[in-house]
C-alpha cells in the first residue's frame, strides 16, 4: 500500500478516481436482489449545470450508490431533453447573427441546424455530471429526439387521438409574441409590476335616467378595440337598469351589450367590466356563456391587425399609449389610478404573454385525472416531504385541458395528416404521402410540434424499450424514485403519472422526492441576469466535488427554500467563497487525516475480527451499529439532511475526537502487542465501515482511502462503490447500551475539565484535581473508568460519591446528571479574573446596545443593503452570546 500524501488534493485525486470508475464499468446496470431504477430528470441538451441540477443529481447518486452497495439491481438512466423553445431560440439567434432568418432557410434546413447545434453544444452538462461523481450509466444515453423515443411519443399521440383524448379547438392560450408559440398555463411565470387602472367612458347608445355613459376600469386599455360586451355583477342591483342596454364602443363604433355575470366582482373598479373574449381567458368563458363575438386584435407578434385605422401595426405598448391619448383627447378618459398587479411572462424570454385566441391541440384530461389522483391518494405514489401531496392533489382538482401544440419547428412534429382534396384527416404512426381515402397526393402534415412536456412525460418507460420492447420494463418499472423540484410537480410529475397509468396500467415511480429550492444568499432567486447564481463547477474547482455534495445534502431538510451560503463578486459574478462548503471541505480533510493516522499505525497488522476488548472498543462498535441503522433508514426514507448530520457527528466527534484518542495508548511503542493488534483491527474495521457509510454522499475521498485499507479475508470488491454495505443486522451484535453510557460519561467528564482549562487559561500540562458528585448507580461506573479519565484529562480524582460537596475555589459543570468540580485553588487569581470579565462585560453590553439601536432604526433598515443588515444581525447574535457566556462566568466566580 502506498503512503498517503499529507494533504488531500481534490483536483488531482477526483479525476483519477473518476477514470477508475468509468473504465471499470461500475456504472452499468448490475444484477442483484430487488430493483432500484431511477431516471435522471432530463436536462436541456444544450444546458449547463446549475445548483438545482447539482442538488438533484447528488440526491439521486446517493440513492443509487446506497442501493448498489446493498446488492440491489441498480440502473440510473441518463438522458437529455431536446428543449424545443430554448434550442430553437438559440439557433434563431445564431442564424440572425449570420444575417439569415429561419423562414428563409426553410424547415428542413433549420432542423438540420438544430441538430448541428445540439451536436456542437450538447453534452456539456453530461461531462459536468460526470465530474460531480454521479454514477449514472453514461454508456446508455437517451435523448427525447432519438428515433426509438420518437416512436413512443408518436404512439401516445395517435392512441390518445383515436381514443378521443386529443382534439383541436380554438381557445385562449398564453401566447409569447417573441418566441412565437403558445405556452402552457404551468409554464407562465407571474411577475409583480406597478401599473395603472384606467377608467374609460363608454357612451350608452340610449341614455338611461339621464346617464349618458358608463365607466369601465381596465389595466389593458389597448384591448378595448376587441371588446364585444360589458359585464356587471348580478349582486350589484344599482346597475340592474343597465342590463340589456348597449354602449357604443369608442374608436371602432361597435355596439356591444351590457349583461350580468357572476364572475364580475362588484367592488373592482367601477363595477362595469369590459369583456374581450379573444384576449382574456375569463372573458372568453363569459363570451361562451353569453354568445359574444370573439375578435382577435393582435397578430402573432402582438401588433394590431388590419382594420383599425391609425392603430393598425402598432405594438401593444404603442397601442396602449395611443388609445389612452385618444380617450383623453375626446374627453372619455375619466381618471387613472396606480395599480400593482401580477403579469404573466414567458419562462424562456422576458416578454409579457398575450392571452390570444388561436387554434391549438389539446389533451382532454378528465379521463386521465381520476387514475392519476387515485395513485397518490391510495399511497401507491408517495411524496417526500408529505406536504407536497396536497399541492399535487389541488392541482389535479383544478386541472384544465392541456394545450400541447407549439408553433415551433424543432421538436416532435404533430403526426396528423390532412388531404387537401377530400378533407381527410388522421393521426398516423407512419408519414402519409397518398390519401388513403381518395388517393390524392395533396397530403400535408400539421405544421406544429408537441410541447416538450408531452414527450418528457413518457420518460420512465420510453427510455426502457416501450413500446417496441416492453419486456425490458419487467422488473424495472415502476421505477424507484423521481427526484425533482417542486415547480414541476404539475408540469411533469402529474403528467408522468397520467401517461403511465393510462398506457402501462401502473404508476411510473413509487416515491417523489421534492428538494428545497436553492436561493441566493440574500434569499432571492438565483439567475444569470442578476448575476447571483453559483456555478457548481466553481464550487468543485475550489472545494472539490465531495465537499459540494456533502454540503448540498445537509440542506435537504423539511424546508421549502434554502439560502446557499456563497459570496459572489458583483462585477465578475465569480465565486469568492462559500463558508458552508468550506466547512464540508474541512470534513473531507478530517476524514483524510484520520485515515492517515490509522494507516500510519498498522505496523505488524494482520487481519482479524473486531473485538470489544475495552469499554472504549465496545462503545465505538456500538455507536457504529447505531450509525448504520440511522443512515440505512435515513437514506431509505430520503432524510438526507439527517443522514449527513449523523455521519459528521460520528466520524468527527466520536471516531476522531474520542476513539482515536482512546486508541493512542495501545499504539505507543512498548505497548502490549496483543492489545496493539486488537486496537489496529478495531480501528481498521470502524474506519472501513465508516467509509462505506460515507461513500454514497462523498464518493471520491472514501474510494481513494478504501483503496489503501487492508481488507478482510473474502472481500473481493475491486472498488468501494461495489463493496458490501454495513447492514444494521450484521452490526447488531455490537450493540451495547451499557458501554455507551459509560464512555459518554467519560467523554463528558473529560470535556468538562478541558473546557475549564480553556476558560481560565490553565495549561494542559498542569494536573488538576477533580471531585465528582454522582448518583449512586453511576459512582461505580466512574470509578471503573478512572484510569481512562485520568489519562485523557490529566487529573487526579479526589473523590467520587453521591454525597460529594463542592470544594471552595472550584467551578462546577453538569455532566449527564453528575456535577464535576475542578479544584482551582492556587491556579486562578479570582479577583483579577472577576475584574477582567467585568471589563469585558461592559464592552460587550455597549456593543450589543449600539447594534440594538441600529437594527431598530426603520430608516437604516430601509436604506442599507440586505447583506449589510444580515452582517449586523450576525454580529449582534455573536456579541449577545458572548455576553451571556461572560455573565455565566462571573456568576460562577
Rama region for 320: left / alpha / beta (φ>0; ψ in -120 to 50; rest): alpha
One DSSP character per residue, 406-430 reads ES-SSS-B--EEEETTT--EEE-SS
Nearest to 694 by CA among 753, 748, 739, 652: 652
Assess contact for 546 and 588: CB atoms under 8 A.
yes
- Return d(Cα 795, Cα 840) in angstroms, integer: 30
Residue 793 main-chain phi, psi, to 5 deg? -100, -5
Q: Give the neighbor-by-neighbor strand order of the sheet with 166-176.
A: 181-183, 166-176, 354-363, 402-403
Q: How far is CA 284 from CA 230, 245, 294, 304, 313, in A?
A: 13, 21, 8, 19, 24
In terms of DSSP bridges, do strands 382-384 and 509-515 run parallel, antiparallel, or are they unpaired? parallel
- Return d(Cα 166, Cα 382) in angstroms, integer: 29
Q: What is the 3-state secondary structure (H, E, C) of 851-893?
A: HHHHHCCHHHHHHCCHHHHHHHHHHHHHHHHHHHHHHHHHHHC
Cell of 354: 398575450
Cell of 483: 427526484
- Return d(Cα 107, Cα 88) in angstroms, integer: 12
One DSSP character per residue, 343-403 reads EEE-SSSSPBPEEEEEEEEEE--HHHHHHHHHHHHTTSSEEESTTHHHHHHHHHHT---EE
One DSSP character per residue, 672-694 reads -HHHHHHHHHHHHHHHHHHHHHH
Nearest to 740 by CA among 610, 591, 624, 613: 624
**Burial category of 375 from C-beta neighbours within 10 Å (exposed 0-12, middle 13-18, buried 19 and up):** buried
DSSP character for 493? I
> Would the annotation count 528 as a binding residue?
yes
- Return d(Cα 325, Cα 333) in angstroms, integer: 9
Q: What share of the chain is helix, strand, coil (3-state, %, to 5)?
A: 45, 20, 35
Say whether the peptide bond before residue 478 is cis (omega within 30 degrees of 0). Answer: yes
- Return d(Cα 146, Cα 154) in angstroms, integer: 12
> Any idea how long the chain is?
893
Give CA torsion, residues 542, 697, 41, 382, to 10 deg.
Answer: -140
- Return d(Cα 638, Cα 482) in angstroms, integer: 11
Cell of 841: 462585560
Rama region for 144: left / alpha / beta (φ>0; ψ in -120 to 50; rest): alpha
- Return d(Cα 58, Cα 62) in angstroms, integer: 6
One DSSP character per residue, 777-817 reads HHHHHHHHTHHHHHHHHTEEEEEEETT--PPTTEEEEEETT
- CA 210 distance to own-chain centroid: 62
Give CA torsion, residues 270, 275, 280, 285, to 10 deg.
Answer: 110
Cell of 388: 407536497
In terms of DSSP bridges, do strands 818-823 and 768-773 run parallel, antiparallel, or are they unpaired? antiparallel
Assess contact for 52 and 10: CB atoms under 8 A.
no
At 505 the three-state DSSP class reads coil
Residues annotated in the binding site, as ranges?
A: 528
Residues annotated in the binding site for ATP, as ranges?
A: 528
Amino acid at each position: 500500500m502506498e503512503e498517503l500524501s499529507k494533504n488531500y488534493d481534490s483536483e488531482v485525486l477526483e479525476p483519477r478516481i473518476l477514470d477508475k470508475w468509468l473504465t471499470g464499468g461500475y456504472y452499468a446496470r448490475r444484477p442483484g436482489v430487488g430493483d432500484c431504477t431511477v431516471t435522471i430528470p432530463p436536462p436541456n441538451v444544450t444546458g449547463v449545470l446549475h445548483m438545482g441540477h447539482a442538488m438533484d443529481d447528488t440526491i439521486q447518486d446517493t440513492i443509487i450508490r446506497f442501493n448498489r452497495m446493498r446488492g440491489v439491481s441498480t440502473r440510473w438512466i441518463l438522458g437529455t431533453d431536446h428543449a424545443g423553445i430554448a434550442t430553437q431560440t438559440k439557433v434563431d439567434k445564431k442564424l440572425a447573427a449570420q444575417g439569415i432568418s429561419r423562414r428563409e432557410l426553410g424547415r428542413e434546413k433549420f432542423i438540420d441546424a438544430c441538430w448541428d447545434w445540439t451536436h456542437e453544444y450538447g453534452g456539456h452538462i453530461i461531462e459536468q455530471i460526470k465530474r460531480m461523481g454521479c454514477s449514472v450509466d453514461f454508456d446508455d444515453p437517451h435523448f427525447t429526439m432519438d428515433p426509438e423515443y420518437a416512436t413512443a411519443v408518436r404512439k401516445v399521440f395517435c392512441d390518445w387521438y383515436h381514443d378521443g383524448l386529443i382534439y383541436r379547438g380554438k381557445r385562449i392560450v398564453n401566447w409569447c409574441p417573441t418566441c412565437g408559440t403558445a405556452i402552457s398555463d404551468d409554464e407562465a411565470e407571474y411577475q409583480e409590476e406597478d401599473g395603472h387602472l384606467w377608467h374609460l367612458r363608454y357612451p350608452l347608445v340610449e341614455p338611461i335616467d339621464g346617464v349618458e355613459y358608463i365607466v369601465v376600469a381596465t389595466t389593458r386599455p389597448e384591448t378595448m378595440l376587441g371588446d364585444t360586451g360589458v359585464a356587471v355583477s348580478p349582486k350589484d342591483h344599482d346597475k340592474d337598469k343597465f342590463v340589456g342596454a348597449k354602449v357604443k364602443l369608442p374608436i371602432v363604433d361597435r355596439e356591444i351589450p351590457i349583461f350580468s355575470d357572476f364572475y364580475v366582482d362588484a367592488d373592482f373598479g367601477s363595477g362595469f367590466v369590459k369583456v374581450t373574449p379573444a384576449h382574456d381567458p375569463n372573458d372568453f368563458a363569459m363570451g361562451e356563456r353569453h354568445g359574444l363575438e370573439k375578435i382577435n386584435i393582435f397578430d402573432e407578434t402582438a401588433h394590431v391587425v388590419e382594420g383599425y385605422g391609425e392603430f393598425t401595426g402598432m405594438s401593444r405598448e404603442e397601442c396602449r399609449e395611443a388609445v389612452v391619448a385618444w380617450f383623453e383627447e375626446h374627453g372619455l378618459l375619466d381618471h387613472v389610478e396606480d395599480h400593482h398587479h401580477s403579469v404573466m411572462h414567458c419562462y424562456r424570454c422576458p416578454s409579457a404573454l398575450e392571452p390570444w385566441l388561436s387554434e391549438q391541440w389539446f389533451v382532454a384530461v378528465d379521463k386521465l385525472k381520476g387514475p392519476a389522483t387515485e395513485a397518490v391518494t391510495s399511497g401507491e405514489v408517495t411524496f417526500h416531504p408529505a406536504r407536497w401531496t396536497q399541492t399535487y392533489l389541488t392541482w389535479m382538482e383544478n386541472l384544465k385541458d392541456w394545450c400541447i401544440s407549439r408553433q415551433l419547428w424543432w421538436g416532435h412534429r404533430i403526426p396528423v395528416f390532412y388531404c387537401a382534396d377530400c378533407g381527410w384527416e388522421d393521426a398516423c404512426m407512419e408519414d402519409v404521402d397518398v390519401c388513403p381515402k381518395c388517393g390524392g397526393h395533396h397530403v400535408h402534415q400539421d405544421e406544429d410540434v408537441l410541447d416538450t412536456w408531452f414527450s418528457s412525460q413518457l420518460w420512465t418507460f420510453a427510455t426502457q424499450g416501450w413500446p417496441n420492447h416492453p419486456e425490458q420494463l419487467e422488473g424495472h418499472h415502476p421505477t424507484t424514485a423521481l427526484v425533482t423540484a417542486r415547480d414541476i410537480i404539475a408540469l411533469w410529475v402529474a403528467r408522468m403519472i397520467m401517461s403511465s397509468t393510462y398506457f402501462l396500467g401502473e404508476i411510473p415511480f413509487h416515491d417523489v422526492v421534492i428538494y428545497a429550492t436553492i436561493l441566493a444568499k440574500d434569499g432571492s432567486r438565483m439567475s444569470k441576469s442578476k448575476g447571483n447564481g453559483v456555478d457548481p463547477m466553481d464550487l468543485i474547482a475550489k472545494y472539490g466535488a465531495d465537499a459540494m455534495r456533502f454540503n448540498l445534502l445537509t440542506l435537504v431538510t423539511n424546508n421549502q427554500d434554502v439560502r446557499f451560503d456563497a459570496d459572489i463578486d458583483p462585477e465578475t459574478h465569480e465565486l469568492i467563497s462559500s463558508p458552508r462548503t468550506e466547512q464540508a471541505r474541512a470534513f473531507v480533510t478530517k476524514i483524510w487525516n484520520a485515515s492517515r493516522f490509522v494507516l500510519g499505525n498498522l505496523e505488524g497488522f494482520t487481519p482479524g475480527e473486531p473485538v470489544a476488548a475495552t469499554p472504549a472498543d465496545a462503545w465505538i462498535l456500538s455507536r457504529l451499529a447505531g450509525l448504520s441503522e440511522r443512515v440505512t433508514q435515513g437514506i431509505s426514507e430520503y432524510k438526507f439532511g439527517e443522514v449527513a448530520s449523523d455521519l459528521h457527528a460520528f466520524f468527527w466527534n466520536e471516531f476522531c475526537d474520542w476513539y482515536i484518542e482512546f486508541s493512542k495508548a495501545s499504539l505507543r511503542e512498548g505497548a502490549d502487542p496483543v492489545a496493539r493488534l486488537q486496537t489496529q483491527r478495531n480501528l481498521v474495521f470502524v474506519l472501513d465501515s465508516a467509509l462505506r457509510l460515507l461513500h454514497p454522499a462523498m464518493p471520491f475521498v472514501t474510494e481513494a482511502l478504501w483503496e489503501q485499507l487492508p481488507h478482510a479475508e473474502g472481500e473481493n470488491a475491486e472498488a468501494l462503490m461495489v463493496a458490501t454495505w454495513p447492514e444494521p443486522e450484521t452490526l447488531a451484535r455490537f450493540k451495547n447500551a451499557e458501554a455507551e453510557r459509560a464512555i459518554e460519561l467519560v467523554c463528558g467528564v473529560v470535556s468538562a475539565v478541558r473546557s475549564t482549562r480553556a476558560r481560565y487559561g490553565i495549561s494542559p500540562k498542569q494536573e488538576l484535581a477533580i471531585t465528582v458528585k454522582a448518583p449512586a448507580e453511576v459512582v461505580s461506573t466512574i470509578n471503573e473508568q478512572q484510569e481512562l479519565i485520568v489519562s485523557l484529562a490529566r487529573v487526579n480524582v479526589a473523590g467520587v460519591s453521591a454525597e460529594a460537596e463542592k470544594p471552595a475555589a472550584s467551578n462546577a459543570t453538569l455532566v449527564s446528571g453528575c456535577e464535576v468540580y475542578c479544584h482551582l485553588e492556587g491556579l486562578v487569581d479570582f479577583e483579577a479574573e472577576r475584574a477582567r470579565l467585568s471589563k469585558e462585560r461592559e464592552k460587550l453590553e455597549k456593543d450589543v446596545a449600539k447594534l440594538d439601536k441600529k437594527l431598530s432604526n426603520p430608516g437604516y433598515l430601509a436604506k442599507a443593503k440586505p447583506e449589510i443588515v444580515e452582517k449586523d444581525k450576525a454580529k449582534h447574535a455573536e456579541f449577545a452570546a458572548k455576553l451571556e457566556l461572560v455573565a455565566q462566568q462571573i456568576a460562577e466566580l
